[in-house]
């Protein structure tokens, strides 16, 4: 492996490590009094402002965001609304809310089921629809790796969801985490095609914009306003800056560069390490512990996702 390749592998590892820590950061902000919708709104607002300020040379696709405000048709604009909801407001709302009811490590491992849910949705979509999106989707066929990996992962989810030691406390949070995984799987069906047609910067900026617009109804209803002094605390403004400018904006740019240098499959494999970083950071900073059933469930989910992913590498 050359030095250049080694650098991009390290970059991929760093990005995934940052994304793994975001679950812990969000949990700290919730404990500080911020609501899930507020955390998302601040995070995406910072990223949206930042993506407009990116210098031209730092954009992987060299596209100037000032060249276009709207997509080429109202159907595509509605698709970006859908992507802003599934990959933005609803995804982060369910994920952040889940963190208020269950452990950060649980959420990370359950969200790790996204590749399996995406594969199953692709099979369903290609069976009922033939359009430009289905043509751009991978040709997935049922086989042992996919079926075995799916059963293994869902067995792990069952262990985590129905762990008798905490089912009354965490079931709501675990189900919300699965809802977040479903949102991201729906987002993954169409985002690749829209990105290839419009460019990464434009497509991501539209997701940021519509994510912010669709979260507005959830920002109301706070009985008492959050004291301004809350935002003066280092653990609050520091985590918000980290989530907005680091995890959302900088990692987007870095991840696009990684995919262009290493390829989609090699880079995506690093995402499997996301829950590992969450588990480590949650144990260090939050003092979380996995029950025996939760630990076995985590291993089964990670193993199932990796097993199902082997099929895609062999086909290539």
Other C-beta atoms lying within 10 Å of the C-beta of residue 141? 9
C-alpha–C-alpha distance, residues 293 and 302, integer Å:
14
Confidence of residue 106 (pLDDT cuts 50, 70, 90): confident
Contact 116, 150 (CB under 8 A): yes
Contacting residues for 234 by C-beta, under 8 A, at least 6 apart: none
Confidence of residue 243 (pLDDT cuts 50, 70, 90): very high
Give the pLDDT mean for 221-230.
80
Which two tokens mark 312? 């895609």
Q: What is the DSSP string of 99-166?
A: TTTS-HHHHHHHHTTHHHHHHHHHHHHHHH--SHHHHHS------HHHHHHHHHHHHHHHHHHT-TTT
**Cα distances (Å, whole numbers) of residue 79 to 71, 117, 208:** 10, 20, 13
Contact 104, 283 (CB under 8 A): no
Domain layout of the chain by residue ranges: 3-59+72-223+282-315
**Greater confidence, 122 or 65?**
122
Which two tokens mark 262? 């290493």
Highest mean pLDDT among 84-93, 99-108, 277-286: 84-93
pLDDT of the residue at 138: 66
Give the pLDDT mean for 244-262.
76
Confidence of residue 314 (pLDDT cuts 50, 70, 90): very low
**Cα distances (Å, whole numbers) of residue 292 to 46, 87, 149, 165, 296:** 39, 32, 21, 10, 6
**Cα distances (Å, whole numbers) of residue 26 to 77, 122, 163:** 30, 31, 24
Instruction: State the Cα angle at 305 between 121 and 178, rounded to 5°.
Output: 60
C-alpha–C-alpha distance, residues 279 and 107, integer Å:
10
Give the pLDDT mean for 274-290.
75
Residue 214 has pLDDT above 90, yes or no: yes
For 156-193, write each residue's pLDDT tens digit.
766 765 665 554 457 788 889 889 989 988 887 887 78
Residue 251 has pLDDT above 90, yes or no: no
Residue 66 has pLDDT above 50, yes or no: no
Residues 129-134: contacts with CB under 8 Å, at least 24 apart: 132/193, 133/189, 133/190, 133/193
Residue 298 has pLDDT above 80, yes or no: no
For 123-163, write each residue's pLDDT tens digit.
888 888 888 877 767 666 666 776 777 777 777 766 765 66
pLDDT of the residue at 135: 74
pTM of the model: 0.76
C-alpha–C-alpha distance, residues 252 and 82, integer Å:
20
Residue 109 has pLDDT above 80, yes or no: no
Contact 161, 101 (CB under 8 A): no
- Residue 11 DSSP SS3: helix
């Amino acid at each position: 492996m050359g030095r250049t390749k080694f650098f991009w592998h390290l970059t991929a590892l760093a990005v995934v490590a940052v994304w793994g820590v975001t679950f812990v950061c969000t949990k700290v902000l919730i404990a500080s009094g911020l609501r899930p919708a507020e955390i998302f709104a601040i995070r995406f607002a910072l990223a949206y402002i930042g993506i407009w300020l990116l210098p031209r040379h730092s954009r992987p696709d060299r596209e100037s965001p000032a060249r276009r405000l709207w997509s080429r048709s109202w159907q595509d604009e509605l698709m970006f609304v859908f992507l802003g909801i599934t990959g933005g407001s609803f995804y982060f709302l369910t994920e952040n809310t889940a963190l208020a009811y269950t452990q950060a490590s649980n959420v990370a491992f359950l969200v790790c089921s996204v590749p399996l849910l995406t594969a199953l949705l692709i099979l369903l979509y290609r069976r009922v629809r033939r359009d430009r999106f289905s043509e751009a989707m991978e040709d997935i066929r049922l086989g042992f790796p996919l079926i075995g990996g799916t059963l293994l992962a869902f067995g792990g989810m069952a262990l985590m969801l129905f762990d008798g030691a905490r089912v009354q406390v965490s079931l709501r949070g675990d189900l919300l985490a699965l809802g977040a995984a479903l949102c991201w799987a729906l987002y993954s069906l169409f985002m690749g095609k829209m990105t290839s047609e419009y460019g990464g910067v434009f497509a991501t900026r539209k997701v940021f914009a519509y994510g912010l617009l669709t979260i507005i109804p959830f920002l109301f209803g706070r009985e008492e306003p959050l004291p301004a002094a809350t935002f003066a605390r280092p653990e609050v403004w520091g985590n918000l800056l980290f989530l907005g400018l680091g995890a959302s904006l900088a990692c987007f740019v870095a991840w696009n560069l990684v995919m262009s240098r290493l390829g989609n499959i090699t880079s995506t494999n690093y995402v499997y390490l996301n829950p590992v970083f969450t588990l480590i950071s949650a144990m260090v900073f939050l003092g979380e512990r996995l029950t025996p059933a939760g630990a076995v469930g985590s291993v089964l989910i990670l193993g199932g996702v990796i097993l199902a992913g082997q099929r895609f590498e062999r086909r290539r």
